[in-house]
Amino acid sequence: MDKRMTCGGMLCLWAALTGGCATEEEEKAMAQATEFAENYFNLRFDKAYECCTEDSRKWIAFRASNITEKDLEAVRQAEEEAYVASADCERTDDSTALVRLVVREALAPDSLEQREGRIAPETAVLVPLRKEGRKWRVRMEGPLQNAE
């Protein structure tokens, strides 16, 4: 059974659980953060790159350059792709937001510590966003931060 939830389905579930209080802008920010995270944690860095601000792209390149063969093997052998299980958005102001995501079946970032690649059942991360024009973009100032 595929446990993944589409962005729209996740947002509807999130809105139902929170009484439908999410604004349209918060929903857009969460959708962008979800798209980014699912691409990032499934090692589709080219697609994750497209979700980011120009100055954030160096952090995607940094992560991609630290992927090991053991990491790739762990992702290949995983029973399912990484997916976002829940999202919560906190808007700082009209142009910045911080989205807390719970990602399941994601590659643990152990490769940076030279450990064997492994899939974590669940990890929570903070994804900062900035609004550029009418679109929310992930704005990384370093590697993704753990939200736990």
pLDDT in tens, 47-74: 999 999 999 999 999 999 989 888 999 9
pLDDT greater at residue 74 or residue 8: 74
Q: Can you give the pLDDT at residue 14?
A: 45
Chain segment 75-121, per-residue pLDDT in tens: 999 999 999 999 999 998 999 999 999 999 998 865 455 567 889 99
Quote the pTM value. Answer: 0.81
CA quadruple 36, 134, 22, 55: dihedral sign: positive
Q: Can you give the pLDDT at residue 16?
A: 42
What structural domains and CATH numbers belong to the chain? 7-146 (3.10.450.100)
Q: What are the C-alpha distances in Å from 16 to residues 4, 9, 21, 27?
A: 18, 11, 9, 13
Q: Find residue 100's DSSP bridge partners.
A: 88, 126
Write phi, then psi, for 14 (nearest 5 degrees). -60, -45
Mean predicted lDDT score pLDDT of the chain: 85
Q: For residue 136, is pLDDT > 90?
A: yes
